[in-house]
Amino acid sequence: MRPARHLLALAALVAAFAATGCGSSGGDSSRSSEGRTTATATTPAAPPEASARNCEGTVAGTDAVRVTGVGCDVGRGLVAAWAGKPSCSSPAGESRFSCSVYRGYRCLGAAVDGGIAVSCSRPGSSVAFTARRG
């Protein structure tokens, strides 16, 4: 009886794949003329504010601030909060670390050549930057 149950599950999986399709001969239809992702049968459209962008004018000791889902002013504020928290500094001898920052953001840091690569996120938004080692 078990082999029949496995066969039935496999048949259902194959039917699901067949119903969703396997590509097309046309170009990439998931992008609109503005370059934003559009909704499909399986993927909802991304909100306009979900596009990532680089921010000018970084906080002292940091470079390359990039935000998604928030404005650059929020991104710079988050970087300043990260830089001001002792718990967010890289522990001696550790290559990776994490800390919580204001407004529910959680940051992950990784030691890289010349500094620390940091990515902070919460549902719906993220901020990434590099920081020079202090």
Portion of the chain with pLDDT greater than 70, in percent: 62
Query: For residues 33-44, b (16+ Cβ closer than 10 Å) or e, as one string?
Result: eeeeeeeeeeee
Number of domains in the chain: 2
Let me know whether 40 and 12 are in one domain: yes
Same domain, 39 and 52: no
Q: How confident is the model at residue 1 (pLDDT cuts 50, 70, 90)?
A: very low
pLDDT-derived band at 33 (thresholds 50, 70, 90) equals very low
- What stretch of H or E contains 70? none
SS3 75: helix
* Residue whose C-alpha is closest to residue 91's, from 107, 109, 76, 103: 109
Buried/exposed 14-29: b ≥16 CB within 10 Å, e otherwise: eeeeeeeeeeeeeeee
Determine the structural domain holding residue 52 and report its residue range: 48-131
Query: In terms of domains, do 79 and 42 share one?
Result: no
Query: Residue 120 above 80 pLDDT?
Result: yes
Q: Both 82 and 115 in a single domain? A: yes
